[in-house]
Chain A
């Protein structure tokens, strides 16, 4: 994760960013229609905005978070105190410039940071939904985000940007709501979730469900938390976010605070200690049932499948301009996934740019200070802003 030295005090940062932290209740009169066929009424959406919406409401950028992200893209996380997950990218004078753009980042449907999810109270029972929460999809997440744009008075966002599951949301948004988006930046993502990725998700879910503290999903009622299962899920997943080169460079076979191997099962190696730490800090900020639901939503993500096997049909004659970015060492969402999207967009006669960034940091590279990533995002947004004739002067 990015380290930001000399991070200003949260209050000063809030002011500098023109940050608004809010939760709004949407879908009160008309419940949210879900892909499963079920509906969800009165849905809370926790969101942050940074910067100011301009007079003609044309400078909004929707930032979509990944599986374990949340609306704290810039502001420090309330539980961990760490800088926001994209604080290196978004801010005044930064790549995604809050002096120019109005940034909207909301917690996804099914999340656990304020948007309605399995730990929210089910109005029908007065208890948390837990496993009564309906299974959701990436399409459902995006449908809810559109309701938030309606609420904020943004008919058409200038851009949507996101990595990993955030990138899936960007693609879904561009496909389902092409009129609501000028340009799209899906990063380190795919249009069809792979068998390997479903397999990793299943390992995570089984780890959670194998923890007796999970209590068949009802741990909230029992005042228990499946710490161990969720930590193992996180540890396994975390490996997939890195690369062999990154692990070797960072840890190699270095031992943790000892001179020689211990002939036991304590954390001999630094890499073990690191993963245990990743697991244990994760459980403090994430809900185990949310993890089940959101990984399931990714498993179900299959844009070509929803368009008769032809991804190009998802984007036929789209006015949205795309810039795809992948990383050479990302084996979770490899470059071939992005290339498949580029091919489909070309077949759909869409305007598409594509860059494969050289990096040995694996999938996580999209969160890191990769100069080529940042140069590409900056260049694309600047070029698109000129194309869209965006004015950054007057604000509302």
Chain B
């Protein structure tokens, strides 16, 4: 999956900091694809949230459990159905959407079990990616998208504009949208921003019902 090594002043990745800043203190949070629990641990400490996690890899689950977090081994595509409706204030899907089999259904489930959904993903319309495709005529492989097409876990890439279109189709409200450029600068953008779609490396959306 795409990574930006940038870290904020608080020590967590900037894209995670952006998500954390969207979350009200003392809320109930489910982090889907929580990895080793970095964001959840930060949220519990800084926002005093009641946090839960779901992660596919056993190594991730073990590390998160060792941090004292409540994390279960599970798959965003199949296991979100097990949660009751409105169980959480926020359901987070951080840089995992593009690796799911059915992104639309995952978003539906997130908004069923949570009042808000926070979704971040790498923007496939970033100019570097466009240029790679135009100039080389090959699927882009760079530091932002480090996998070759035949081994990538990222099976459902989309652009910021694609995602906005899907939200409109699903009648999902976009409460906030932020992009992160290659220098790690955070920009707010409006849904139809061509600028964000060209220069945003990652996008973070706060969605509501």
Contact = CB atoms under 8 A, between A and B. Distances in A.
Contact of A379 (B62, B73, B74): B62
A386 interface: yes
A378 B66 contact: yes
A343 B74 CA distance: 11
Contacts of A379: 62-63, 65-67
A5 B71 CA distance: 36
Residue among B52, B64, B68, B83 having the largest count of chain A Cβ atoms under 10 Å = B68
B65 A376 contact: yes
Residue among B63, B66, B69, B71 having the largest count of chain A Cβ atoms under 10 Å = B66
A346 to B, nearest CB: 5
A389 to B, nearest CB: 12
Given A378-B66, A379-B62, A383-B67, A354 B82 contact: no
A353 interface: yes
State which size class the interface on B falls in.
20 to 34
Interface residues of A, number: 26
Contact of B73 (A351, A356, A380, A386): A356
A323 interface: yes
B62 A355 contact: yes
The B interface, classified by DSSP as helix, strand, loop or mixed, is mixed
B194 to A, nearest CB: 41
Residue among A321, A356, A379 having the largest count of chain B Cβ atoms under 10 Å = A379
Contacts of A355: 58, 61-62, 65, 73
B120 to A, nearest CB: 24
Contact of B87 (A349, A358, A380): A349
Contacts of A372: 58, 62
A352 interface: yes
Interface of B: 52, 58, 61-74, 82-84, 87
25 contacts: A342-B72, A346-B72, A346-B83, A346-B84, A347-B83, A352-B70, A353-B69, A353-B71, A354-B74, A355-B62, A356-B73, A357-B58, A372-B58, A376-B61, A376-B62, A378-B66, A379-B66, A379-B67, A380-B65, A382-B66, A382-B68, A383-B65, A383-B66, A384-B68, A387-B68
